[in-house]
Each structure stands twice: as C-alpha cells, then as structure tokens.
Amino acid sequence: MGQNFLVDRNIRDRILDAAEISSGDRVVEIGPGLGALTSGFLERGAKVWAVEKDRGLYRVLTENLDSPNLELRLEDALRLDWEEWLPPPGPYKLVANLPYYITTPLLFRLLDYSGLFNPMVLMVQKEVGERLAAEPGSKAYGALSLKLKYYARVEKLFNVSPHSFFPRPEVFSQVIKVAPRSEPPVNVKNETLLLQLIETGFGQRRKTMFNNLRRAGFVGEQIEKALVHCGLGLQVRAEELDLADFACLAFSLQDWKEGETSG
Ligand code: SAM
C-alpha cells in the first residue's frame, strides 16, 4: 500500500507551509499513516478529514491522535463518496503523501469534484511529478501532462530524498501543487474528442501526429486539412504540440466527425 512514512520534520513543515495551513482551515488528508502530517495540521489549528485504508494504521491513529478536530475514516480513498462525507462548503485543502500506486487515478478522480479540493499539495514519486508538470518538447511530456493541464495548474515545489522516509523508498519524491481551474484554458466543443486526440497522439510517441490519427481511424485528407488549418506541419509529433494545438485539432476534426454522422 505504498507505506513509506515521513520522518523528516523539516520536510513536514515545508509541506505544511506550501499548503499555507493555518487555524480554521479545512484539510483533507489521504493516507495519514502514522500521522506525521496529520499532527502538523492539528497543531496549526486546522480541522482535518483523513481517510486511511489500512485497518492497523487506522487503529493506531485513533489511539494516538485523539482530537475533536480530527475526523478519521477507514476506507479506500478511490471509492469514497467525498461529497457525502465532507460537510459543505468547500473548498478543502487537500494535502497528502500519496501512495504511489494510486497517484494518477486518484488525482483525476479528485479533479472530477470540480473545485472541492483546492489547492492540492501532493507528495508524489519524482518521476510522476515531472510527467505531471512537463512542458512540450521535454522527455517527460505526454498525455498525462496535457490532460492535467486542461483541468488544473500544476507547479513543482521541491524534491524529497529517500532518507526522509522510513522505510526508505527506492526513488526520490517530489512535492507538487495542483490548483484546479474554474474554466478550461482552451475552448473546445467536444471535451471527449480533445482527450481522445491527446491519447491518440501519444499512442506511438515516435510516430507523427498524422500517422497516429490515421491509425485511430481518421481520414488522411481531413487530418491534413486540420493540421494545415492549425498551422502545423504534416510531420509534427504530439510531443511538440501544446494544449492550444490539440484544442485546434479537436475543433477542426469535430466538424468532420459531425459531417460524417449527419452525412
Ligand atoms: N501520510 C503518512 C506520512 O506522510 O508519513 C503516510 C504516507 S504513506 C506514503 C501512504 C499511506 O496511504 C499509508 O498510510 C497507506 O496505508 C495509505 N493508503 C494506501 N492506499 C490507500 C487508499 N487507497 N486509500 C487511503 N489510504 C491509502
């Protein structure tokens, strides 16, 4: 269950500072573990909702962190109905040293609760943090970076060495800040198509956008028109395109899709 506990007080405080935790804040924590961060939230006067999946840790926490400001729940964060559990109004600050194996599905699930969690300060595997925050042209840039950019602003804050945990993980960690957007940064008629184009574009990373779209069933002539319309060369690869480029392609190919259905 990705149980590497934070034992470095300095890093703990930097995380609390990054989330600007102060008295009266409403904080959600996923995977409180032995309570390293949880105790920090409580010391700063926040009210905390923490969800832990491990029954043994849940029991230890209940005994060690008895506070009227702590709501502890034994459950899988991926299955929890957050709106049913958290009293309105939001937003809640979400702070977590995330179990690495659930980072991506959990992050996108949390973003689905449009703005309920804002901001999110997350400790993730460094490599995942790099991918989430990557810009076009870099090695780490991919479908994940683009999809997250559509929903949120992402900022890399600092790296954390394996020495800050017990037991030590094999990899470095990174603390990132994710602020959900109230409006998407680009305009598209069909969000599903945009996300599909992003996935398709990176389907075979070394192939051109043209070839990847062809493989996904788009017609050559339409792809060519769309690329030209968006000012892109026929040899362009997904890794060179930013979100605005994908939005433009989605706009152009959408018309064709509609034409195809009505014709
Ligand atoms: N927050 C603690 C710390 O910083 O020391 C523990 C972090 S540890 C990396 C991840 C924690 O998430 C563990 O306590 C683990 O039991 C818990 N966990 C793993 N999967 C979970 C899930 N699906 N839902 C809730 N908690 C989970």
The CATH code of the domain that includes 75 is 3.40.50.150
Rama region for 231: left / alpha / beta (φ>0; ψ in -120 to 50; rest): left
Pocket test for ligand 1, best of 11, 12, 54, 175 (most atoms within 8 A of CB): 54
Q: Is residue 170 within 8 Å of 2, Cβ to Cβ?
A: no
Query: What CA–CA distance (Å, rounded) separates 249 from 263?
Result: 21
**167 and 101 within one domain:** yes
Q: Is residue 121 within 8 Å of 27, Cβ to Cβ?
A: no
Task: Give the number of the atom of ligand 1 that is nearest the alpha carbon of residue 31.
Answer: 12
Q: Residue 90 has what DSSP assignment?
A: -
As for ligand 1, residues whose beta carbon falls within 6 Å of it are 1-6, 30-34, 36-37, 51-54, 57, 76-78, 97, 99, 102
**212 and 176 within one domain:** no
**231 and 131 within one domain:** no
Q: Calculate how far, in angstroms, residue 99's C-alpha sits from the geometric centre of ligand 1.
A: 5
Q: Calculate how far, in angstroms, residue 105's C-alpha sits from the geometric centre of ligand 1.
A: 15
29 found inside a domain = yes
Overall number of domains in the chain: 2
Per residue in 115-156, pLDDT (tens digit) is 899 999 999 999 999 999 999 999 999 999 999 999 999 999
Q: Is residue 23 within 8 Å of 91, Cβ to Cβ?
A: no
**Is-cis flag, bond preceding 136, omega within 30?**
no
Protein residue with its CA nearest to atom 21 in ligand 1: 53
Pocket test for ligand 1, best of 53, 76, 175 (most atoms within 8 A of CB): 53
Q: Is residue 37 within 8 Å of 6, Cβ to Cβ?
A: yes
Name the average pLDDT for the chain.
94
**62 and 20 within one domain:** yes
- Could you tell me the CATH number of the domain that includes residue 217? 1.10.8.100
Question: Would the pTM count as exceeding 0.75?
Answer: yes
- For residue 104, give the nearest of 178, 42, 192 by alpha carbon: 178
186 found inside a domain = no
117 found inside a domain = yes
Task: Give the number of the atom of ligand 1 that is nearest the alpha carbon of residue 12.
Answer: 4
What's the domain range around 28?
Answer: 5-180
Domain's final residue, options 180, 200, 226: 180
Per residue in 204-262, pLDDT (tens digit) is 989 999 999 999 999 999 999 999 999 999 999 999 999 999 999 999 998 766 555 54
pLDDT at 44 over 50: yes
Protein residue with its CA nearest to atom 6 in ligand 1: 33
Domain's final residue, options 149, 180, 211: 180
**215 and 175 within one domain:** no
